[in-house]
Structure 1
Amino acid sequence: MNPTLLNLKDIHEPEAIGWWPPAIGWWILAVSIPLLVICLIWLYKKFTRKTALKTAGKILLEIKQDSARDNLQKLCDLSVLVRRVAISMSPRAKAAGLTGRQWLAFLDSSVKGTPFSEGIGQLLADAPYRKTPPTELEISQLTDLCESWLKSQAKLKS
């Protein structure tokens, strides 16, 4: 048998598989990894916010019920607590450097009215300059105001 008579052609290999377009699995992977990372970050932030607020609520209750602390110490502890919560709940650059009236205006921004700037909340800014410690009534009102501020933070961030 003569190969020229049969008119046979040589075996042709298929073309190499190109890298574009990628298979559907790569598309799914390319979309799902960033989504997974975003979801994990969101869950982490949500979990830490709730934890910070729960802890702040417990500390506020301790301050409220501790009869060993004098009123000036309670005032300082309330001021520190509110500052820590504000820094953990909002961007650090937005809340950490505020003092005086700016600090009180920042606190007023998350509650109705202006209880910090024009009400009992002024104690948080005026405490270091007072000659006399605050009264029991002032501390009680300030504690209630801080408690309502904490509740408003929980509503804002959930």
Structure 2
Amino acid sequence: MSGTSLVPPDSSGQLKPLQELPLPETVSYAPHTIGWVFIAVLLLAALGVALWFGWRRREKQRYRRVALSELASIEARLASPHADREQRANALAAIPRLIKRTALAVAPREQVAALTGGEWLAFLQRTHGRFDAGSGALLELASYAPPDVVAGISDGDAAALIGHTRDWIERHHVEI
């Protein structure tokens, strides 16, 4: 079959005037009415506004991410098997300072800076913290006790204090 053509020869010339069927024009995806353009502009504007508000909210919450990162660093220092008593005391003493700096990031300095003891614990509870009398006592101990006493805080109490601190950083809401 090599050399034979499947197309019969046009001996009579009848096929010469025939031509290919024209293909239809491609359909445009562009909108043909002004209403669709208006809707597209509105959707793009709404998307832009939503992105702007999302970015703004993310920037407002940056202090939380920084505080949680610092808390993770403190937790890693406490969990380190090479930490001696002084390093442990320094890590535990950093927790109350972290909470105070976080509170100062969102609340007026006049309302927060001078709070200590029961007033400070009441502020933490009022701002949606799970701090109770026990964890409040641990905060006070970590803030003001000598390093030898702070280093003696048990692993369970330290873990509970870190848990309460993480919860407060993630959930607190300060009404101004």
**Does TM, normalized by the shorter one, top 0.5?**
yes
Q: Is 1:92 aligned to 2:103, yes or no?
A: no
Please state how far the C-alpha of 1:123 moved relative to its aligned partner: 1.3
Q: Percent identity?
A: 24
Q: Is the Cα–Cα contact under 8 Å of residues 52 and 85 in structure 1 kept in the other structure?
A: yes
**Structure 2 unmatched ranges of 5 or more:** 1-52
SS in 1 for 2:149: coil
The counterpart of 1:120, out of the listed 119, 131, 135, is 135
Q: Is the Cα–Cα contact under 8 Å of residues 135 and 161 in structure 2 kept in the other structure?
A: yes
Highest Rg: 1 or 2?
Answer: 2
TM-score by length of 1: 0.61
Q: Which residue of 1 aligns with 2:161?
A: 142
- Superposition map of 1:1-158 within 5 A: 46-66=57-77, 67=80, 68=83, 70-111=87-128, 115-116=131-132, 118-127=133-142, 128-129=144-145, 132-133=149-150, 134-153=153-172, 156=173
Looking at secondary structure, tell me which structure has more helix per residue: 1
**Structure 1 unmatched ranges of 5 or more:** 1-41
Q: Is the Cα–Cα contact under 8 Å of residues 74 and 94 in structure 2 kept in the other structure?
A: yes
Q: Is the Cα–Cα contact under 8 Å of residues 129 and 171 in structure 2 kept in the other structure?
A: no
SS in 2 for 1:98: coil
Q: Is the Cα–Cα contact under 8 Å of residues 74 and 139 in structure 1 kept in the other structure?
A: no
TM-score by length of 2: 0.55
Please state how far the C-alpha of 1:56 moved relative to its aligned partner: 0.4
Q: Cα RMSD (Å) of the superposition? A: 2.6
